[in-house]
Structure 1
Amino acid sequence: MTAVREGLTVGLHDPVTDPEPADWEALRARAGLRANWAWPVMRAGVLSGADPVLLAVLSDVEGPVGLVAASVVAPRRSAAGASAPGFPRVGYLHVQAPQSSAVPGFWFASPAVQERASLVRAFRRAARRTLGPGVRGALWRQLGEGDDAWLPWPRYTRDTEPLAVLDAPESVDAWLAGLGQKRRASVRRTQRLVAADPDLQVRTGRVGEVVTPAELAHLTRLNFAKHAAGSVELRSGPRSEVWQASVAGRADVCIVAYRDAAGRLLGAATILDDPVWPVWLSWGALPVEDGGRRHLYFDLFRRLVERVVDRGARGMILGKGMSELKSDLGAHLVPQHGAVTA
């Protein structure tokens, strides 16, 4: 714990080597952070990821007022794809949420620009003291409107891929009515095809109940490899069996799984549950040429809408990627950008 100004302290933690901070679950609930921020889940993500993570808890005399999660990225990563023990002596900070590109890697209790700017300065000073002068600069991801106001100077910003967000409709029928005529007809046709397919089973439940960690990791790797063109380490984060095992049995992680009559997993989606804004974390499916189905993505989307309506959530965060298709299915796109700061 480092005191950086009167009444404000910054506690720096390594999720791999440090024990879970006191009252972490209460803080996670207060900040609205989902299962990917649970301490054992973060630890699994770091252990199977390419970079170590520095977690900062900023507190004043009344308690925690801010959180920042930052990967400490070395210029050259290990060929093995997993992070080495400890922090690199040379590199930069990559502020991002654990295993998710859909939500920020920071939380501040106050919306006030000056207070947030003060907390960011405190975080950077504490990180420099701990990591040394060789870790220079920070890359901030998932920044929205107004976030530039509290970032330190100098900074360089650029637009990044937008975030797809589905606002909860009044009903599934209301959602369908808002789609274009061709898309609405396509979704309804898909629903009939799934319902009439005797060789298709759909189950919703937890990891370890409706799908094994190994099965889920395999399909998630297929999806990442498809969209990353092989540029993403396939053993890291939610692509790893270690990470999937860390969320097994958790009530706040939901799986929608599609199987054929022989029990082969054809497709699976992972949802980080939240009563207000659940996050669609990942989707993976067997290619059609390997026995997969063409229409599962659209059936899943309808089920996501149904889930939001049934649970009374405000909507669902659908993540990045395939923006045009998600927009065509009723989502709106929220502009996002990233920034590099000193």
Structure 2
Amino acid sequence: MIEVLDPRRDPEPAYWGALRAKAGLRADWSWEVLTTQAWSARTAQPIAVLLENGVPGGVVSSAWVTGLTRRHRFARPSGRGRLGGLDIRAPGSGAIPGWWFDAEDDDGGVARLLESFVPAMRAELGFGLRGLLIRQVGESGVDSVRGRLKMVRRTEDIAVLDVSPFTCRDDWMYSLARKRKQNLRKIFRTFDADPSVEVRIRPGAEADPVEVAELLRYNETKHHDVPIVPLPAFVGYVSALLRQPDVHVVEYRETTTGRALAVATVLDHPTLPIARHWAALPPELGGRPNLYFHFYGEAVRWAVEAGRPEVVFGKKMSEMKASLGARLVPQYAAAIALLP
């Protein structure tokens, strides 16, 4: 059976902790985080769980998008019969698929997604469900989403850095092409010689969520290249995310005033942590140059010391991230029409 949950009104299922541990779902899948995000979203955020003899064997995160979805309007009850579509996406990072199944499938679980998830959501939403948008489909899953009434397009690659060959940050830096290596060496030396700025990595629970949210909003104002501009970083959501034990924060501060200059979050994972957020004060407000590149050095340092074999650098600016040694993993999006 498949249980369809709405984090706004449904309590955390008894099996949720075990499911997260088994599936390796990061902090943004915490039920507390899902609930806070759902209450501050422009769309309903159903979570579908595949249960086999009462044991969870799969999970899918999606957003229910209808003609009533608006930029500055919070989600309404989904109802039945209303025309709309499901945007299948991870609840936090866009670098990870929004589904997981416990069986290894050659197509990354895409066929199981269509075979099990779609009928369950048709039963939940009615025949007003007319389409799907499936994000973060890997190359192995492309054939499963090709065909009549389906459109597949390649989207932004995901940058993943293999950290396992390195024993320290310098090992990584010296592995890069000459121009990038020289640039980073200069950045690191300049930063180390500047007593006015300090960096530290600490648990997210020790960070100030208001301060983090304010910085994130500077970064979010830059993203006007997407069809629906991201909502601002609500303090409630940031607070819930930072409280999770598998969240780390990288902070840059002025040593004299204590003012935060930049911040990044890392969502930990035994094998594949994600560099999730980055935000910095703009130069006109006192921001410092090159902290963004310095952060990648700190992310590598942290991953090496924590024994993580890889770290995800996310999407956007893929050529720059490739120059930092990351491999670019192709990703696809599939739009699928559903007949009434």
Q: Which residue of 2 aligns with 1:5?
A: none
Number of aligned pairs? 331
CA distance in 2, matches of 1:141, 1:127: 17
Please list the CA deviations of residues 228-259 of structure 1 after superposition, one character each: whole Å capped at 9, or x if unmatched.
359654545xx221110112332201100111
Q: Which one-letter code corresponds to 2:318 in the other structure?
A: S
Q: Which residue of 2 aligns with 1:110?
A: 103
CA positional deviation for 1:327: 0.8
CA distance in 1, matches of 2:302, 2:161: 12
Q: 1:217 aligns with which of 213, 216, 223?
A: 213
Q: Which residue of 2 aligns with 1:193?
A: 190
CA distance in 2, matches of 1:217, 1:231: 23
Query: Is the CA contact 2:203–2:245 (under 8 Å) kept in the aligned structure 1?
Result: yes
Query: Is the CA contact 2:142–2:332 (under 8 Å) kept in the aligned structure 1?
Result: no
Range with greater deviation from structure 2 (172-181 or 86-95): 86-95
TM-score by length of 2: 0.91
Query: Is the CA contact 1:165–1:315 (under 8 Å) kept in the aligned structure 2?
Result: yes
CA positional deviation for 1:64: 2.0
Q: Which one-letter code corresponds to 1:212 in the other structure?
A: D
Q: Which one-letter code corresponds to 2:63 in the other structure?
A: S
Q: Which residue of 2 aligns with 1:303?
A: 298
Q: Which one-letter code corresponds to 1:221 in the other structure?
A: R
Residues 314, 208 of structure 1: CA spacing in aligned structure 2 closer, same or farther, 3 A cutoff? Answer: closer
TM-score by length of 1: 0.90
Q: Which residue of 1 aligns with 2:237?
A: 243
SS of equivalent residue, structure 2 residue 37:
helix
RMSD of aligned residue pairs (Cα, Å): 2.1
CA positional deviation for 1:339: 0.4
Ranges of 4+ aligned residues in structure 1 off by more than 6 Å? none
CA distance in 1, matches of 2:173, 2:142: 37
CA distance in 2, matches of 1:182, 1:77: 47
Q: Which one-letter code corresponds to 1:228 in the other structure?
A: H
Q: Which residue of 1 aligns with 2:326?
A: 331
Query: Is the CA contact 1:167–1:314 (under 8 Å) kept in the aligned structure 2?
Result: yes
Q: Which residue of 1 aligns with 2:57?
A: 65
Query: Is the CA contact 1:157–1:338 (under 8 Å) kept in the aligned structure 2?
Result: yes
Q: Which residue of 1 aligns with 2:25?
A: 33
Q: Which residue of 1 aligns with 2:269?
A: 274
SS of equivalent residue, structure 2 residue 139:
coil
Please list the CA deviations of residues 193-246 of structure 1 after superposition, one character each: whole Å capped at 9, or x if unmatched.
21121211212113352x31122112222212213359654545xx22111011
CA positional deviation for 1:122: 2.2
CA distance in 2, matches of 1:105, 1:241: 24
SS of equivalent residue, structure 2 residue 265:
strand
Query: Is the CA contact 2:50–2:58 (under 8 Å) kept in the aligned structure 1?
Result: yes
Query: Is the CA contact 2:223–2:230 (under 8 Å) kept in the aligned structure 1?
Result: no
Q: Which one-letter code corresponds to 2:180 in the other structure?
A: R
